[in-house]
Amino acid sequence: MTAPAGDKRARVSAALAALLVFGACAALAGEKQPREYLDEDTAATVTVVGEPLVFAYPHPTLAANQRDYVTLAAAAVNRNGKVSYVLIAYFWSTIDPRLRQDPLPSPAQLVIQADDRRIELHLQGHSPHEAGIGQPVHAPPGVDAAPNVYGTDLGTVRFIGEARELTIVVDSDPAPISYELWEDRRVALRNFVHHMSGGR
């Protein structure tokens, strides 16, 4: 018995829709994959997370819809088989500097509150090149923000990527400032960990 033409068209339409959704998901996942390259400046193999996390702190008393931000990106550096991990943070703002009374917080110590775990990161320096990375790592576009390099390990990066709640806390006077997760790209961080774990 031959199926009605309407049923055939419906099945074909459903199949095409499924293919389109699958293709969109695959493209989206591809954008979040880490990038690995041989750094010509440092001769190290560098792996960089596909997309960074972005945290924000609002300043409603200074300007509407303007915020301070922290962009946080993970990277791995392989030098002759020895792999080290870093988190690179950029402190930046969309607020007119003329409206500010206080500078952006000091990056000397950065705390990531991941669920119930407090992860303290200590500044190693402002040059990713010293860590073996010769190219900028997800620097925020359109702003002049210095990179701040913090040493870490794969287990810590894994915990951050799998945490349900993430906040960045930095020291400030008179009280610490908490940056809430603004652009959630933990999928990219989990892909980075998966890649560095050899697919495990």
**Token couple for 69:** 């931000």
pTM comes to 0.82
Report pLDDT for 17.
Answer: 43
Measure the CA–CA gap between 175 and 160, rounded to whole angstroms.
Answer: 24
Nearest CA among 108, 107, 110, 131 for reference residue 119: 110
Look at the chain and report how many structural domains it folds into: 2
Percent of the chain residues past pLDDT 70, beyond the cut:
84
pLDDT digits (tens, 9 = 90+) for 88-100: 999 999 888 777 7
Q: Is the predicted pLDDT of residue 9 greater than 90, yes or no?
A: no
User: Are both 102 and 189 inside the same structural domain?
Assistant: yes
> What do you get for the CA distance between the two ends of the chain, in Å?
49
User: Are both 96 and 17 inside the same structural domain?
Assistant: no
User: Are both 20 and 118 inside the same structural domain?
Assistant: no
Nearest CA among 45, 119, 51, 49 for reference residue 83: 45
Q: Is the predicted pLDDT of residue 193 greater than 50, yes or no?
A: yes
User: Are both 57 and 42 inside the same structural domain?
Assistant: yes
User: Is residue 110 exposed (0-12), middle (13-18) or buried (19+ Cβ within 10 Å)?
Assistant: buried
User: Are both 83 and 180 inside the same structural domain?
Assistant: yes
User: Are both 123 and 52 inside the same structural domain?
Assistant: yes
Q: Is the predicted pLDDT of residue 6 greater than 80, yes or no?
A: no
Give, to the nearest 10 degrees, the angle between helix 154-162 and helix 186-196: 150
Q: Is the predicted pLDDT of residue 187 greater than 70, yes or no?
A: yes
Q: What is the length of the chain? A: 200
According to DSSP, the residues that pair with 74 across neighbouring strands are 87
pLDDT digits (tens, 9 = 90+) for 28-79: 445 689 999 999 999 999 999 999 999 999 987 777 778 999 999 999 999 9
Report pLDDT for 7.
Answer: 58
User: Are both 116 and 182 inside the same structural domain?
Assistant: yes
Percent of the chain residues past pLDDT 90, beyond the cut:
64
User: Are both 15 and 94 inside the same structural domain?
Assistant: no
> What does the CA dihedral 6, 12, 18, 21 come to, rounded to 10 degrees?
-100
User: Are both 185 and 88 inside the same structural domain?
Assistant: yes
122-147: average pLDDT: 93
* Domain containing residue 4: 1-31
Tell me if 39 sits within 8 A of 49, measured CB to CB: no
User: Are both 107 and 141 inside the same structural domain?
Assistant: yes
Q: How big is the chain by its Cα radius of gyration, in Å?
A: 21
According to DSSP, the residues that pair with 77 across neighbouring strands are 46, 84
User: Are both 171 and 116 inside the same structural domain?
Assistant: yes
Of residues 174 and 144, more confidently modeled: 144
Q: Is the predicted pLDDT of residue 4 greater than 80, yes or no?
A: no
Give the range among 22-26, 54-58, 141-145 with minimum mean pLDDT.
22-26
Report pLDDT for 159.
Answer: 98
Phi then psi dihedrals of residue 176, to 5 deg: -60, 155
Report pLDDT for 98.
Answer: 79
Measure the CA–CA gap between 76 and 50, rounded to whole angstroms.
Answer: 12
Q: Is the predicted pLDDT of residue 117 greater than 80, yes or no?
A: yes
Nearest CA among 171, 59, 180 for reference residue 105: 171
Q: Please give the distance of CA 77 from its chain centroid, rounded to a whole number.
A: 17
Tell me if 129 sits within 8 A of 138, measured CB to CB: no
User: Are both 12 and 68 inside the same structural domain?
Assistant: no
